[in-house]
Structure 1
């Protein structure tokens, strides 16, 4: 009998703790960008003033099973930049999100949004890392798109200047989910 009471108390304690467990889901966005497209050069000479990750205007679809249990999260990108030109350059990075059915998340229609943008200025010969981090907070447009359970994401790097080499070194989506929120209350 004593063993039964001990096991019952332990089972109840574990059940109570598991209801408060928050799960972390990580999506490595770099795995969706081919190795050859992770680096390159934006150049006025070659009329290549923009790069997209991934290259598809529809962005990368990201299904999130159980997204209705979303508590928050973060989207992060890091791009190493080097001004290889002879004049100062400015580089803009924009992260866009859209619903699953949007075929062009860069056109501003169909429900897509500019989730975050960041700029960086580089002198000739200078190297810097552009580090963009977007916190997903409840009741924001970005959070609501992710919470829909099936969204698209993409990033666009653009140049104002002569020449800049770039290398995408990190891309991730980290979500915090409380999966026990999926269990209906009677």
Structure 2
């Protein structure tokens, strides 16, 4: 009787674990030094900034990513127009394969995953959130499922002066790890 109970318990646990979805969070903000997360865009000095401060972006490795079910990518930045003119900012998150050495040149497989323009009046402050839902049969899904990819963000200014603070950058993935176990 004990063997039958143990066998049934094992089967129930195996069935439950086969449907378990695991959540993997990658805090991309931790890859960007604290002193580079905020600053001022100025038309005369610095009209654009990259996160991280490397044209190759940040290499991200996700073990078990071949079991990817879905996910999302999010970036949040706080902006304040400190200049004397209205300003427009263009925010962009780019993805590319591991081998790409410049995510912003449109070559080597990189592409704009998310883009948004923001208009700021004099003294106006805004918190801007960019979200990309990673779904099957999309370019982002296929790239992330490869297990090694590059990610980067760019902020461009058309205006006078704007202060920025990068407050959030993360990738959240849902993986069904039991799909990695081969069926006999």
TM-score w.r.t. the length of structure 2 is 0.98
Report SS of the residue matched to 1:11: helix
Shift of 1:45: 2.9
Is residue 45 of structure 1 aligned with residue 44 of structure 2? yes
Deviation per residue, 1:43-97 (Å, 9 max, x gap)? 0132x11010001100000011111110110000000000001111111110000
CA shift, 1:185, in A, is 2.0
1:35 aligns with 2:34: yes
Given candidates 101, 104, 122, the residue that maps to 2:102 is: 104
Whole-angstrom CA distance in 2 between matches of 1:45 and 1:100: 34
Give the whole-Å Cα distance in 1 for the aligned partners of 2:168 and 2:65. Answer: 23
Q: How many residues align?
A: 184
SS of 2:66's equivalent? helix
Distance 1:143 1:106 in 2: 20
1:106-125 per-residue CA deviation (whole Å, 9 max, x = no partner) reads 10000111111111111010
Any idea what the Cα deviations from partners look like across 1:5-53, whole Å, max 9, x if unmatched?
Answer: 222111110000000000000000010000000000000132x110100
Q: Pairwise CA RMSD of aligned residues? A: 0.8
In structure 1, C-alpha distance between the alignment counterparts of 2:12 and 2:110, rounded to whole Å: 44
CA distance in 2, matches of 1:118, 1:149: 27
Cα distance in 2, alignment partners of residues 44 and 168 from structure 1: 19
Runs of 4+ in structure 1 displaced over 3 angstroms? none
Where does residue 82 of structure 2 map in the other structure? 84
**1:102 partner SS:** coil
Q: Report whether the alignment pairs 1:182 with 2:180.
A: yes
Residue in structure 2 matched with residue 14 of structure 1 by the alignment = 13
Comparing 54-63 with 6-15, greater Cα deviation is found at 6-15
Q: Distance in 1 between the 2:81 and 2:112 partners?
A: 26
Consecutive unaligned residues in structure 2, runs of 5 or more: none
| Residue equivalent to 1:93 | 91
